[in-house]
Amino acid sequence: MHIIKQKREFRESLLSWYSREKRDLPWRRTSNPYYIWVSEVMLQQTRVDTVIPYYERFIDKFPTMEILADADENDLLKMWEGLGYYSRVRNLQAGVREVVSTYGGEVPTNRKDISTLKGVGPYTAGAVLSIAHGIPEHAVDGNVMRVISRLLVIEDDIALPRTKKIFEEVVMDLIDREDPSSFNQGLMELGATICTPKPKCLLCPVRDFCIAFHERKQEELPVKTKKTKMKVIPVASFAIRNDQQQWLLRKRPATGLLANLWEFPMVERMVGRTPQQMVHEQFGFELENLVELLSFKHIFSHLTWDMQSFEAQLQEVGTIPEDFRFFTEKEVEGLPKPVPVLKIWEEIKQGGKYDDCK
DNA sequence: AACTCGGGGTG
DNA sequence: CACCCAGAGTT
């Protein structure tokens, strides 16, 4: 293969570009495996610019694995508030607890052991091993698959699980044994800044090695077939306050969508119903007797929801009234809430009244 | 192998 | 508004 003969030159081009152009990011100023681990978990789901402030706050609040292991779940979720994929922070804590209790507080330095930790899959395992410990292991994420698929014109469908193995083998063949950390990060940095879905080939430090560029088909790669087919479910959300100026919130179930986060009571939006009717029909109590409806909004309409899981959640609303509790304004501030609820809460504090319900 | 799990960015 | 992004766990 074309690039195989030029592996050394490829590495040199990539590494010198990376050392010249790499962004100055907080987690690039440390080799603490725990900090690298935290950053990788955050970066799995969110863009760099979004992660930076979360990372700083998280490390500030939980500076050691022992402190994170002892943390209260509510505080944990609060630090993750707004990042999404909330089960991952609980997996992170579970993994950290495992390291503290069974690995003597040392993050394992081999793929087999580190992969047993909760929330640590093939990518995160390779990232921590290579970046924190300088071990030559592959760390194949979406960026790397995009870069490699173009570099070698690999046209396998990257949506298929088995395709990832191909890329892992290529990376193990190409990887720089002297500096696997910079090599892996260089590939990802390239994918994040140059070899983007709409590639900027004129700026690319390794375009001379890129077969797709020579064949003018970089725009067609990588091949990806899967398409998501989610439904949008319009939802009505109720901000209800009692005579003691406390707000009625509901803790979501421990599993599934937005697990363990707090929300305003929420129902599927019903055309032609008044808020009072919807509360009565779906929550089973009379709004007038108990509380004052201060705000009523349609939210989540921009999210994609799976109809079945939503129906399951409606069942929960009807059958587990213990999840409903009244909180003072100060208490509400301390509860971890998903972004749409945060936005409603902001509006309420600024005196927002309820939407129409047509 | 297919599905679940959020939120932000882009066109 | 539609569409794109992406790794790990669960089933």
Tell me the CA–C1' distance in angstroms for A5 and B6. Answer: 43
- Cα A228 to Cα A223, A305, A306, A307: the distances in Å are 16, 11, 11, 14
Active-site residue among A9, A21, A40, A331?
Answer: A40
Separation between Cα atoms, residue A207 and residue A192, nearest integer Å: 15
Catalytic, A40? Answer yes
- pLDDT band with cut points at 50, 70 and 90 for residue A7: very high
Separation between Cα atoms, residue A93 and residue A201, nearest integer Å: 40
Tell me the CA–C1' distance in angstroms for A2 and B7. Answer: 40
Nearest nucleotide, C1' to the C-alpha of A45? C6
- What pLDDT sits at residue A311? 41
Which of A82-86, A111-115, A287-291 shows the lowest per-residue confidence on average (mean pLDDT)? Answer: A287-291
In this structure, are residues A239 and A266 in contact, taking their beta carbons and an 8 Å threshold? no
Answer yes or no: is pLDDT of A303 > 80. no
Q: What is the mean pLDDT of residues A192-199?
A: 92
Q: For residue A168, say whether its CB is under 7 Å from any atom of strand C.
A: no
Three-state DSSP class for residue A295: strand
Q: What is the mean pLDDT of residues A185-191?
A: 95
Nearest nucleotide, C1' to the C-alpha of A49? B8
Q: For residue A149, say whether its CB is under 7 Å from any atom of strand C.
A: no
CA atoms within 13 A of residue A242's CA, in its CB half-sphere: 13
* E strand map for A222-280: 235-241, 247-251, 262-263, 266-268
- What pLDDT sits at residue A280? 76
Tell me the CA–C1' distance in angstroms for A59 and C1. Answer: 38
Q: For residue A85, say whether its CB is under 7 Å from any atom of strand C.
A: yes
Answer yes or no: is pLDDT of A120 > 90. yes
Separation between Cα atoms, residue A51 and residue A138, nearest integer Å: 23
Q: For residue A145, say whether its CB is under 7 Å from any atom of strand C.
A: yes
- Cα A257 to Cα A54, A63, A84, A95, A262: the distances in Å are 21, 29, 10, 21, 12
When the pLDDT of each residue in chain A is averaged and rounded to a whole number, the result is 85
Separation between Cα atoms, residue A97 and residue A141, nearest integer Å: 26
Q: Which residue ranges form the domains of chain A, and what is each CATH number?
A: 4-220 (1.10.340.30), 235-349 (3.90.79)
In this structure, are residues A119 and A41 in contact, taking their beta carbons and an 8 Å threshold? yes
Three-state DSSP class for residue A232: coil
Separation between Cα atoms, residue A131 and residue A129, nearest integer Å: 6
Q: What is the pLDDT of residues A199-225, one digit of tens each?
A: 999 999 999 999 999 999 999 999 988
Tell me the CA–C1' distance in angstroms for A41 and B5. Answer: 14
Separation between Cα atoms, residue A174 and residue A183, nearest integer Å: 9
CB atoms within 10 A of CB A243: 8
**Cβ-based burial of A32 (10 A; exposed 0-12, middle 13-18, buried ≥19):** middle
- What pLDDT sits at residue A304? 33
Separation between Cα atoms, residue A83 and residue A90, nearest integer Å: 13
CB atoms within 10 A of CB A288: 11
Q: For residue A197, say whether its CB is under 7 Å from any atom of strand C.
A: yes
Q: What is the mean pLDDT of residues A166-185?
A: 96
- pLDDT band with cut points at 50, 70 and 90 for residue A5: low
Nearest nucleotide, C1' to the C-alpha of A309? B4
Separation between Cα atoms, residue A274 and residue A276, nearest integer Å: 5
- pLDDT band with cut points at 50, 70 and 90 for residue A349: confident
Separation between Cα atoms, residue A100 and residue A151, nearest integer Å: 41
- What pLDDT sits at residue A247? 85
- What pLDDT sits at residue A229? 56
Nearest nucleotide, C1' to the C-alpha of A259? B5
CA nearest A264: which of A323, A351, A304?
A323
Separation between Cα atoms, residue A206 and residue A254, nearest integer Å: 47
In this structure, are residues A120 and A40 in contact, taking their beta carbons and an 8 Å threshold? no
Q: What is the pLDDT of residues A133-150, one digit of tens each?
A: 999 999 999 999 999 999
Tell me the CA–C1' distance in angstroms for A251 and C9. Answer: 22
Nucleotides of B under 7 A from a protein CB: 1-9, 11
Residue at shortest CA–C1' distance from C7:
A44
Q: What is the mean pLDDT of residues A91-110?
A: 97
Separation between Cα atoms, residue A220 and residue A224, nearest integer Å: 10
Nearest nucleotide, C1' to the C-alpha of A191? C5
For A103, list phi and psi in degrees, rounded to 5. Answer: -120, 20
Q: What is the pLDDT of residues A24-59, one digit of tens each?
A: 999 999 999 999 999 999 999 889 999 999 999 999
Answer yes or no: is pLDDT of A305 > 60. no
Tell me the CA–C1' distance in angstroms for A158 and B2. Answer: 15
**Maximum distance among all alpha carbons in chain A?**
79
Q: What is the pLDDT of residues A248-288, one digit of tens each?
A: 888 988 888 888 999 888 777 676 777 777 777 776 666 55
Nucleotides of C under 7 A from a protein CB: 1-2, 4-9
Instruction: Tell me what percent of chain A is helix, strand and coil, each rounded to the nearest 5.
Output: 55, 10, 40
- Cα A179 to Cα A48, A131, A283: the distances in Å are 23, 9, 59
- What pLDDT sits at residue A307? 33
